[in-house]
Structure 1
């Protein structure tokens, strides 16, 4: 006999076998702890219950394919860190071995997740509500990231200039430019690395906000485990767009939209880098025109808002555009 009920937090309809009645587990959609209700009494038994098929364990929301028992509130044991594989006590929020933030990782790669076509109006409306409700954090993240990036760029630029001058002083004038080239390359590599690291942190925070969680600013510095995948995938993404733009521009726009969610998918699903591109194609299938429309709408809002406020309003407008992009990803993946 099956038990069918709705999550009290997100209203997702769940079903499981009656032997799970009274047990506690995480909802595969919202991640909140819920209790499996007791089955209704058999007063209304009509003789047909004996024909009810039992729910296979692999199809139940308590099963290993969606929400593993050892990864839920049904266990007091331990789980394996999704990044380094080290055993971690169940309920821990961070792996002691590698520092991976487990709260986000437990959601990544598991639970309810399926592509769907989103509505531009629904994205903008939801983004506005989330933006207003979390205004302080939403503004603090880009301001902190921008401040760190600005200071780091200045420090690295000064250090590179000094190192370049010292190295150039030890060689002839004809060779000096050749010495400064690798210095400039290293400088740009470090600056880009800082940018990608901060981008990862910002996306982690915004994703948690959109899910209704309450992250703090320290989450901005939890992107380390995803860094190299993000760095390499961003390079590949840039190359794909460049090649597409060479091919009469339109293919470049299509490629940019088709693979746009790769960075969100990479950190949300904790996938190998190349798989984030294949998953992006699934997510954006049927959504390319909506993504184009959303991009144009957000671009128009930014330009118009910047002109009207003489650029000052961008402090508030840009975080909203980031929030809308995050909500678009959440809508496309049924979160």
Structure 2
């Protein structure tokens, strides 16, 4: 299967149309989860006498840990939704392992992209493209952070410009969703993420990587 920006976006849209209300509902659940985390953090800061301008260290750590768990669930959910769109359930959003690998990978990728943008915009864009699949590889195949970063570079080799174009188009989809108020985001989020996962799956197959997740919870 040839990979193009159009084919990825088309897959995301066609998959969304199979169960539109389910995917909209999943977006609501994810947003509510992040709101709850924000509420918990605010509660901790309030008890400790912190302010939004000067948040507490404990509140920040709790927020970071819980947000990481949500992020892991989102990745696992959309991997399962891509592979089994007709049968995936909301329970796929609970996927707390491998927490430390995912956390380390997120930090390393964030540092690489952040430093790249601080130095110059172009290095930041390059890092974003090189490592864009890292956290998905950690959840999908259980690799460590460094190995996942290397694998992300490998499977994207030869498609850098196409992947950069995909990132740009997906950002435009999300922006369009924001302009259409909250309801638009509920559609834009699953469409864009499913398109992203499709790119990952197609390029993994072309690079010779295992197309099926070894974690049975993703294939359920």
Unaligned stretches of 5+ residues in structure 2: 206-210, 212-220
8 A contact 2:37–2:63 mirrored in 1: yes
Partner residue in 2 for 1:204 = 76
Query: Distance in 1 between the 2:129 and 2:2 partners?
Result: 14
2:33 counterpart of 1:148 = yes
Displacement of 1:157 after TM fit?
A: 1.0
Structure with the largest fraction of helix = 2
Aligned to 1:219: 92
Could you state the TM-score of these two structures normalised by the residue count of structure 2? 0.84
- What's the counterpart of residue 323 of structure 1? 194
Structure 1's unaligned 5+ residue stretches are: 1-115, 166-176
Q: Could you say which structure has the higher strand fraction?
A: 1
Asked if the contact 1:204/1:219 (under 8 Å) is kept, the reply is yes
Please say if residues 244 and 251 of structure 1, whose CA atoms lie closer than 8 Å, have aligned partners that are also in contact: yes
Q: CA deviation at 1:236?
A: 1.0
Say which of 287, 299, 306 aligns to 2:159.
Answer: 287
Q: Trace 1:33-72 onto structure 2 (pairs within 5 A).
A: none
Relative to the length of structure 1, the TM-score reads 0.56
* 2:111 alignment partner in structure 1: 239
Classify the secondary structure of the residue corresponding to 1:275.
Answer: helix
The answer to whether the 8 Å contact 1:258/1:284 transfers is: yes
Match of 1:162 in 2: 47
Shift of 1:310: 4.2
Give RMSD over aligned pairs: 2.2
**Structure with greater Cα Rg:** 1
Number of the residue aligned with 2:11? 126
The count of aligned residue pairs is: 204
Looking at structure 1, the residues matched to 57 and 159 of structure 2 have their Cα atoms a distance apart, in angstroms, of 38
CA contact (8 A) 1:117 1:286 kept: no
